[in-house]
């Protein structure tokens, strides 16, 4: 069997639709991951010991169990509890939660690296807690860890392919469906692979640019 | 019927699945280590075209997820004239080794570059051949940083094996899904699965901790006193000046 | 202080070619003439730097540096930091290549393949020439993951092809010479700085180099540990015919053991001569200024 350009051209629209879904999932899950991770880290930092322990357990579990297992667990298990979210919603939330756990570790490290002198200075100036966090500590932590966080978003983008398992029409799903219907797998999977790859390359470059701009403040 | 009664008959299947997962994980970790050492040493070496080529290979392999690569190797590759039709397990280990090796290459490279340049100077002044310097001096020290980081990667590899269930490999996830369909015991089955994967991750982490402990550089570090004041005082005492 | 009492090194097989006073050479930057007293044959210099230039990008670190070291001579380079002294040693050891000029070890160039100086010497050949040299570093550079004994046997086994037991015997002999025979089984991390540096010297000596380069070997040591290292070097220079090129800040020591002192600044030789002359009656104002700024002088 050799490459069939006509067929490749024919399936491009559906593949591109898959790209759109992939992008959408990445943005939504990424937002959950970045914000959720921050909340987890701050809660762990400032909350009571019980909360800290619970959160650490949650983080360890999400890091030790494959994403596929968590996806199936949520997708097939939630209806038993009376909830029936769509596959899309389930996928976005699970992916977001898993990477929130990874991001929380990055934030945690970042918070631990804030020198004690910074906290002391803020207290000496009489800054209220909310201001200390919002205007002093968090900007420092975010600036120092943009690279690591962006790296996880890029990984998240690649892992969106897993949502194929619960039927979310991401790029891989559409490629698989096209191949299944026509019994020609070469073109769909090769094109899908190339599309994933092409979208991945500029992200590395963008991350480096963002890192440079954000750390220009002198770190 | 209680959960235990429902699941009971399937436990042998799940155990077999766990064994398959463990075997694939083990093979992939070893394969990834080999690929990582090969690509990593090229990346950290002095040969510029080799550095660029291995860099390109690493970026290519890290550019798509394991699932995409696995599907391509298993479904698309056989369509090409003359290309091999790999059995699913082989395809899985191949893809996992290459992908893990690409991430591992960065770990190896960082570890090699972290060895102080003075060590290379010393090897040069002693006239040690390049291969001896790398194998007996540089790499053993680099391993002190590489092994813990690779252990982290290995734990991830153990989780990635779950994708092989999609190419009809009867691993733990495959059997978990099958059992769920047969018995409808969704929550217990996936809790059991989660527990098994956690245990596997833990075992891998422990294994690498053990390897780290056995490294020559770790043994040397354990024998050295803590840096700072105590060592200085000890030196003074030894010389009878304190 | 039993372990820091180095025993005397064995006398050299051939009579030591000890350089007499370098003569009253008035001008700096002249290659050393044969001292009066040696029979008419010209001795090939052990190390010869011939108008060596070294540039790192735009920075000129060495500017037409010329120096000739006789076999068995002990030459010390002194001068302010950043004057290029360490670079001189690194170039001799082939850790770097000069931008211009030539370096000759016992008459053979380690930079060029032909006498006209047009074709660069292939690295493998250059490495073979450099086997006559050994070097000891400021930060010891011992192999931390190996015991002291393994540190010393690695090179004899892989470079000289000695068997494990022969190499071990050689290693223990050299450890004995620096007074650390008891520490053969220890790891570098368990030793003090002075002990580590003495091990480093022993390690360099196992390959029996004819020329030894010592790059600020006491600069990283706590003051109370410097003495034991200098003692080893003193014994080495007085009791063997090894040619020694030293970069150091220890002025008193330089005065004691050197045959010749070379004052270095901004990549060139400012002044050279016997220690008595350079330290007590320096000719150049730059030398005077430097010596005054060195507090322990």
The predicted model scores a pTM of 0.79
Please tell me which residue of chain A has the smallest CA distance to B193.
A69
pLDDT, position C25:
31
Over the stretch B140-179, which tens digit does the pLDDT of each residue have? 999 998 999 999 899 999 999 999 999 989 999 999 999 9
CB-based contact (8 Å) between C190 and chain B?
A: yes
Mutation pick from B117, B118, B119, B127 vs chain C, by most beta carbons of C within 10 Å, is B127
**Residue corresponding to tokens 């100086």:** C117
Q: How confident is the model at residue C16 (pLDDT cuts 50, 70, 90)?
A: very low
Number of Cβ pairs < 8 A linking chain B and chain C: 91
Q: How do strand C268-273 and strand C260-265 relate by DSSP bridges?
A: antiparallel
Q: How confident is the model at residue C29 (pLDDT cuts 50, 70, 90)?
A: very low
pLDDT above 90 (res C175): yes
CB-based contact (8 Å) between C135 and chain B?
A: yes
Where do runs of H (alpha helix) occur along chain C?
85-92, 123-129, 148-158, 164-177, 193-205, 223-239, 251-257, 275, 285-293
Classify domain A15-215 by CATH architecture. Orthogonal Bundle (1.10)
pLDDT, position C37:
44
Q: Looking at A168-172, B135-139, C200-204, which range is the least confident one? A: A168-172
Q: Give the Cα separation of C73 and C244 in Å (integer).
A: 6
Percent of chain C having pLDDT more than 70? Answer: 85
pLDDT above 70 (res C26): no
Tell if the CB–CB gap between C142 and B122 is shorter than 8 Å: yes
Q: Name residues 110-139 of chain B within 8 A of A (Cβ).
A: none
CB-based contact (8 Å) between C164 and chain B?
A: no
Chains A and C touch (3+ CB pairs under 8 A): no
Q: What residues does each domain of chain A span?
A: 15-215
Pair C76, C136: CB distance under 8 Å? no
Write down the ipTM of this complex: 0.82
Domains and CATH numbers, chain B: 3-238 (1.10.3720.10)
Q: What is the mean pLDDT of residues C148-162?
A: 94
The per-residue pLDDT of chain B, averaged, comes to: 88
Q: Give the Cα separation of C282 and C273 in Å (integer).
A: 9
Tell if the CB–CB gap between B194 and A69 is shorter than 8 Å: yes
Q: Name residues 160-199 of chain A within 8 A of B (Cβ).
A: 161-162, 164-165, 172, 175-176, 179, 184-186, 188-190, 192-193, 196-197
pLDDT, position B231:
53
pLDDT above 90 (res C142): yes
pLDDT, position C295:
59
pLDDT, position A219:
42
Please tell me which residue of chain B has the smallest CA distance to A160.
B65
Please tell me which residue of chain A has the smallest CA distance to B204.
A64
CB atoms within 10 A of CB C145: 24
Mutation pick from B65, B183, B188 vs chain A, by most beta carbons of A within 10 Å, is B65
- Can you read off the two tokens belonging to residue C27? 């001008």
| Chain A residues with CB-CB distance to B197 below 8 A | 64-66, 69
pLDDT above 60 (res C248): yes
pLDDT, position A215:
64
Q: How confident is the model at residue C155 (pLDDT cuts 50, 70, 90)?
A: very high
Pair C143, C154: CB distance under 8 Å? yes
pLDDT, position B235:
61
Q: Give the Cα separation of B65 and B77 in Å (integer).
A: 17
Tell if the CB–CB gap between C145 and B217 is shorter than 8 Å: yes
The pLDDT profile of chain A, 219 residues, written as one tens digit per residue, is 678 888 888 889 999 999 999 999 999 999 999 999 999 888 888 888 888 888 888 888 888 899 999 999 999 988 888 888 899 999 999 999 999 999 988 898 888 888 888 888 888 988 888 888 888 888 888 888 888 888 888 889 999 999 999 989 899 998 888 888 888 888 889 999 999 988 887 777 777 777 777 666 544
Where do runs of H (alpha helix) occur along chain A?
5-46, 49-64, 67-77, 87-113, 116-124, 129-131, 138-159, 171-182, 186-214
- Can you read off the two tokens belonging to residue B17? 């699945």
Buried b (16+ CB within 10 A) or exposed e, C118-144: eeebeeeebeebbbbbbbbbbbbbbbb
pLDDT, position C20:
34
pLDDT, position B236:
64
Chain C: give the shortest CA distance to residue B52, in Å. 24
Residues contacting C252, CB < 8 A, separation 6+: C296, C297
Over the stretch B10-21, which tens digit does the pLDDT of each residue have? 889 999 999 999
The per-residue pLDDT of chain C, averaged, comes to: 82
pLDDT, position C27:
32
Number of Cβ pairs < 8 A linking chain A and chain B: 108
Over the stretch C81-131, which tens digit does the pLDDT of each residue have? 877 899 999 999 989 888 888 999 998 888 888 777 778 888 788 878 788
Tell if the CB–CB gap between C207 and B126 is shorter than 8 Å: yes
Nearest to B180 among A2, A76, A179 (CB): A76
Mutation pick from A69, A77, A177 vs chain B, by most beta carbons of B within 10 Å, is A69
Q: How confident is the model at residue C166 (pLDDT cuts 50, 70, 90)?
A: very high
Residues A48, A52, A53: CA angle, nearest 5 degrees? 120
Secondary structure E strands in chain C: 47-56, 59-69, 74-78, 100-105, 108-109, 133-136, 211-215, 243-247, 260-265, 268-273
pLDDT, position A206:
75
pLDDT above 50 (res C14): no
pLDDT, position C133:
93
Alpha-carbon separation of residue C120 from B59, B71, B145 (angstroms): 37, 53, 38
Tell if the CB–CB gap between A67 and B69 is shorter than 8 Å: no
B234 vs C171, more confident:
C171
């Amino acid at each position: 069997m050799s490459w069939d350009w006509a067929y490749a051209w024919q399936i491009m629209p559906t593949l591109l639709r898959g790209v759109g879904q992939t992008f959408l999932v990445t943005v939504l899950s990424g937002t959950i991951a970045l914000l959720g991770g921050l909340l987890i880290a701050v809660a762990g930092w400032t909350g009571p010991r019980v909360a800290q322990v619970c959160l650490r357990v949650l983080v360890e579990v999400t890091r030790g169990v494959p994403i596929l297992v968590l996806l199936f667990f949520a997708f097939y298990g939630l209806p038993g509890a009376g909830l029936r979210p769509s596959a899309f919603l389930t996928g976005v939330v699970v992916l977001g939660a898993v990477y929130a756990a990874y991001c929380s570790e990055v934030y945690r490290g970042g918070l631990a690296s804030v020198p004690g002198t910074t906290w002391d200075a803020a207290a000496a100036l009489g800054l209220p807690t909310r201001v200390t966090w919002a205007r002093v500590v968090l900007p420092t932590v975010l600036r120092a860890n943009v690279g690591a966080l962006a790296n996880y978003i890029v990984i998240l983008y690649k892992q969106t392919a897993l949502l194929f398992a619960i039927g979310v029409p991401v790029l891989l799903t559409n490629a698989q469906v096209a191949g299944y219907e026509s019994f020609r797998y070469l073109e769909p999977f090769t094109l899908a692979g190339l599309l994933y790859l092409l979208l991945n390359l500029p992200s590395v470059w963008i991350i480096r640019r963002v890192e440079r701009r954000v750390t220009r403040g002198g770190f | 019927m209680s959960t235990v009664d429902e699941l009971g008959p399937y436990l042998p299947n799940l155990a077999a699945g766990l064994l398959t997962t463990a075997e694939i994980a083990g093979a992939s970790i070893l394969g990834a280590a080999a690929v990582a050492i090969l690509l990593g040493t090229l990346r950290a070496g002095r040969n510029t075209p080799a550095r660029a080529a291995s860099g390109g290979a690493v970026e290519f392999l890290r550019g798509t997820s394991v699932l995409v690569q696995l599907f391509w190797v298993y479904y698309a590759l056989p369509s090409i004239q003359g290309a091999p039709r790999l059995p699913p397990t082989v395809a899985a280990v191949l893809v996992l080794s290459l992908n893990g090796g690409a991430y591992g290459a960065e770990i190896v490279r960082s570890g090699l570059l972290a060895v102080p340049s003075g060590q290379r100077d010393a090897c040069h002044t002693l006239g040690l051949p390049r291969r001896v310097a790398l194998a007996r001096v540089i790499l053993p020290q680099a391993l002190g940083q590489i092994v813990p980081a690779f252990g982290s990667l290995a734990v991830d590899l153990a989780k990635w094996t779950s994708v092989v269930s999609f190419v009809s490999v009867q691993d733990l996830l495959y059997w978990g899904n099958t059992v769920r369909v047969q018995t409808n015991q969704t929550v217990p089955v996936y809790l059991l699965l989660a527990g098994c994967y956690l245990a596997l991750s833990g075992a891998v982490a422990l294994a690498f901790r053990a390897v780290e402990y056995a490294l020559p550089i770790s043994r040397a570090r354990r024998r050295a006193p803590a840096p700072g004041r105590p060592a200085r005082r000890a030196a003074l005492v030894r010389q009878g000046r304190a | 202080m039993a372990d820091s009492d180095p025993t005397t090194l064995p006398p050299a097989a051939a009579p030591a070619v000890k350089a007499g006073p370098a003569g009253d050479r008035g001008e700096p930057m002249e290659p050393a003439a044969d001292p009066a007293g040696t029979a008419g044959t010209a001795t090939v210099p052990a190390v010869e730097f011939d108008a060596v230039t070294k540039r790192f990008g735009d920075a000129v670190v060495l500017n037409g540096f010329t120096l000739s070291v006789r076999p068995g001579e002990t030459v010390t380079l002194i001068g302010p930091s950043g004057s290029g002294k360490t670079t001189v040693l690194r170039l001799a050891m082939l850790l770097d290549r000069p931008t211009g000029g030539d370096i000759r070890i016992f008459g053979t160039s380690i930079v060029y393949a032909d006498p006209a100086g047009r074709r660069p010497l292939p690295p493998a050949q250059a490495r073979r020439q450099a086997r006559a040299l050994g070097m000891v570093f400021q930060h010891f550079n011992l192999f931390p993951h190996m015991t002291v004994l393994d540190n010393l046997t690695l090179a004899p086994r892989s470079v000289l092809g000695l068997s494990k037991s022969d190499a071990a015997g050689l290693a223990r002999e050299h450890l004995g010479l620096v007074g650390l025979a008891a520490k053969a089984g220890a790891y570098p991390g368990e030793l003090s700085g002075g002990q580590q540096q003495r091990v480093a010297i022993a390690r360099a000596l196992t390959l029996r180099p004819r020329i030894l380069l010592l790059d600020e070997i006491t600069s990283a040591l706590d003051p109370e540990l410097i003495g034991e290292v200098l003692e080893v070097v003193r014994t080495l220079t007085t009791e063997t015919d090894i040619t020694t090129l030293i970069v150091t800040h220890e002025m008193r020591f330089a005065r004691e053991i050197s045959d010749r002192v070379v004052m270095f600044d901004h990549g060139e030789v400012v002044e050279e001569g016997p220690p008595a002359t350079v330290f007590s009656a320096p000719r150049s104002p730059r030398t005077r200024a430097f010596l005054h700024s060195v507090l322990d002088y």
